[in-house]
Amino acid sequence: MRKQMNTLKNKLEKQAIVNDRFIRQSMNRTADKISRRYRLVMALCIVMIPYTYLVFISNMALPLTFWIGTSILMLTCFGATMYNWLNVRNPHMMSSNLVEVSQKMANAKKFDVNWLYFGIPAAIIWLAWFTWELYQQGSEAAHYMMIGTICGAALGTFLGFSMHSKTQQQYQKIIDTIEEITADQQ
């Protein structure tokens, strides 16, 4: 009977180890999804600087100051995204102390929310400035560009908030999983 109990106990311990490893791999995959999204955003920020020069200066003849302002905004977005990406990208994060991982994820989640307090007003100011520059041109093509800008802003707002919501859910999933694991260990 003792031998059977020891065998059962060993099987349960192995099962717990496998479950723990599976849960950590799942958290790592979720963190990788967030990390990939941040890398994409950072790449777009960098690509937008020369692209906006070609479009705004070469093709649309907008003032150089507008392109400089746009470039500064893109570099600011790049820097903020990189700052948050550094909290998520550690490949050994899920094998380290789960309390520290949970704290990093909570900080990254909070920063992501707080970033909206800068990002939304900055986007509104940039869109207003862009619309003003187009209005100053006074051409029919500029009028259609303003309409396109408004439609693009509406679509971008929808996509941005859905991406933000999905990222927040992924952060929360990791935090909840860690809380569940640490509660089981106590």
For residue 167, give the nearest of 30, 26, 39 by alpha carbon: 30
Query: pLDDT tens digits for 87-138?
Result: 888 767 656 777 888 888 899 999 999 999 999 999 999 999 998 988 888 7
Of all residues in the chain, what percent are helix, strand and coil, respectively (each to 5)? 90, 0, 10
Q: What average pLDDT does the segment 34-61 reach?
A: 92
The pLDDT value given to residue 94: 59
DSSP state of 96: S
CB 99 within 8 A of CB 182: yes
Reading the block at residue 171, the tokens are 């952060």
Prediction pTM value: 0.80
Instruction: State which amino acid sits at residue 146.
Output: M
Residue 8 has pLDDT above 60, yes or no: no
Query: pLDDT tens digits for 124-176?
Result: 999 999 989 888 887 787 788 888 888 999 999 999 999 999 999 999 988 88
The pLDDT value given to residue 29: 84
SS3 97: coil
Report the alpha-carbon distance of residue 89 to residue 36 in Å, rounded.
9
